[in-house]
A and B are shown apart, each in its own frame.
Chain A
Amino acid sequence: MHLNIIFGYVDPGTGSYCFQLVIAAVTAGCYTLSRFKTKIASLFKGREKNPPQTGKQEQVL
């Protein structure tokens, strides 16, 4: 009974929200690193050095 009551009020969204606050530095770092790697790769491949702002993350994806 006690467990059922708790189960009814569990909000997994709160944990996900706070978790993102905790890992924000990690994900931002990953993004910066991936951008850096893309830029280095494009230098070697002789591609354009300054990709357009629009959709720049899509290139990472």
Chain B
Amino acid sequence: MSPARIQSTDTEAATVAIKPLSSSFRDPNGFVFDHEGQFLRAVQPAYEPHYYRLMESGLYQLLVEQKLLIPHEDVTPSFSKAAGGCRIIKPLQVGFVSHPFEWSFSELKDSALTTLRIQAAALEHGMTLKDASAYNIQFVNGAPIHIDTLSFECLPKGDPAPWAAYRQFCSHFLAPLALMCHTDVRLHQLQRVHLDGIPLDLASKLLSPGTWLNPGLLLHVHLHARSQRLMQNREMSAVTRRRGVSLNALRGLTTTLAGTIKKLKRPVAKEFWSNYYDETVLGGEYVPGKKKIIREWLSQAAPRLVWDLGANAGVFSRLASATGSQVVSFDLDPDCVEMNYCENRKQNETKILPLVLDMMNPSSACGWDLAERSSFLERPHPDVALALALVHHLAIGNNLPLDRIAKFFNRFAPTLIIEFVPKDDPNAQKLLRSREDIFPQYDQPHFEEAFGQYYHIEASRQAPGSNRNLYLMRRRVDNP
């Protein structure tokens, strides 16, 4: 799509070139663009009838009231219709964009059910979702919400066509959920390779034979995959193409998909990291003492956005959110992220977004032109990063030199609250039990020297009941 040229009446500049974001190219009905740091959406004139129906049928109001669809305001009057008469809408801004392969089981399941609730409501208002991409869902205030206002289209009169987004829904939501539930929770990473959803034939192969006895998975994954294979080399006749289904068939499709997904239960946690703080080998005063120090430093820094790296089940993320910060809570272990998310939902905690992230292989830019989905470092950077009991995993567990760890943190964290776990710590000893100690420079002086290249150490305190040290660091102005 070529960039539209739409004149902004706000500026003295004659014409402002509005360029779609690199990720916004699939939908001919509109595109997202960045205008003075805000993400706006241009709606092409061809989409107007659908947009009008969405707004006037009561569907938009219903979905916004139920917090299923992102609210927006029409800001067209601020722009002249110099090119093509696009309508410009300004959606509520999403603080931190996450990708489906970074979500836990329940985050993906809640997103799937949100999509189906929207489709169910749309059908009752004479509309349907024309796509069901998991990337259309983002987490706002701790809950999934649909962010693509242009995903709706009017149902034709008479028998409507089959749901165009059925294949996409099954590949983006049902297949990964079924694989996580019935095969292995780590298979959610397949979504990172298959950006347009896990192919159903692959999901069908990977699912255990027992899933053929599950009516929902039999219908929507196994038989669905076989029908795709059967039809792949066949021409659809004009008669078939014109055939529709009843509205009740579409409703039933949504109902059976929702029933199948609701029955998928989250896999049982391994209960290793999940009990980390309960069964810590450190003294009983360790966690409360550490919390006190972190709370004090966070209150001083008053960050707007915190990244909690290696967040475990989110104990310290909740501490940060209690001081008023928005928190993105990363952990390698999908079970920890799952626990974190479920605990937040239980406590009605809305400021924390738990995500799966391997610090040794963080989410990279991917998709077309490597610009469709942003990398870990391309998303909004935090004011403060927490790295508690993390460095020994990177340095000892993954042979990362300390100065490289410091250099990496310097790329995104202006303020750092970091914990150094010495070699004689019982948990560091666990890491060294099965490997040769090739880390002569892993000690406190070398740690301070490595991080001192990039940060001023503003405060340092020993964590009570342990030999661990906590640091508050601020990025040096003159850092390399």
> Which residues from 29 to 61 on chain B have a C-beta closer than 8 Å to any C-beta of chain A?
58
In the complex, chain B residues whose CB is within 8 Å of the CB of A22: 227
- B residues near A61, Cβ cutoff 8 Å: 113, 116-117, 120, 254-255, 258
Q: A31, A32, A53, A54 — which one has the most chain B CB atoms within 10 A of its CB? A: A31
Within 8 A of A (CB), among B229-255: 229-234, 236, 240, 243, 245-246, 248-255
Report the Cα distance A20→B170, complex, angstroms: 13
Given A12-B200, A20-B162, the answer on whether A27 and B232 have CB atoms closer than 8 Å is no
Closest to A52 in B: B124
Q: B183-221: contact bitstring with A at CB < 8 Å (1 yes, 0 no)? A: 000000000000000011000000000000000000100
Which residues of B have CB within 8 Å of A24? 162, 245-246, 249
Q: How far is the CB of B248 from chain A (nearest CB, A)?
A: 4
Q: How many residues of A contact B (CB 8 A)?
A: 33
Contact of A15 among B116, B231, B251, B255 (CB under 8 A): B231
Give the dominant DSSP class at A's interface. helix
Residue contact B252 to A27, C-beta cutoff 8 Å: yes
Q: Are A10 and B252 in contact (CB under 8 A)?
A: no
Report whether over half of chain B's contact residues are helix, strand or loop; otherwise say mixed. Answer: helix
* B255–A18 touching, CB < 8 Å: no
Bound Cα distance from A24 to B123, whole angstroms: 15
A13-B232 in contact given A30-B252, A55-B62 (Cβ < 8 Å):
no
Cα distance A8–B247 in the bound complex, in angstroms:
34
Binary contact track A26-41/B, C-beta < 8 Å → 1, others 0: 1111111010000000
Q: CB-CB < 8 A to A21: which residues of B?
A: 162, 240, 243, 245
Is the Cβ of B245 less than 8 Å from the Cβ of A34? no
**Among candidates B116, B167, B230, B245, residue contacting A13 with C-beta atoms closer than 8 Å:** B167
A28 to B120, CA, bound (A): 14
Q: Are B251 and A31 in contact (CB under 8 A)?
A: yes
Please tell me if the beta carbons of A18 and B227 are within 8 angstroms of each other in the complex: yes
Q: A30–B215 Cα gap in the complex (Å)?
A: 12
Q: Counting CB contacts under 8 A, is B427 at the interface? A: no
Cα–Cα distance between A42 and B219 once the two chains are bound (Å): 29
In whole angstroms, how far apart are the Cα atoms of A24 and B113 in the complex?
Answer: 21
Q: Is A4 an interface residue (CB 8 A)?
A: no
The 18 listed contacts between A and B (C-beta, < 8 Å) are A12-B200, A14-B228, A14-B231, A14-B232, A14-B236, A15-B228, A16-B227, A18-B240, A21-B162, A23-B253, A24-B246, A25-B249, A27-B249, A27-B256, A28-B248, A31-B248, A54-B125, A58-B120
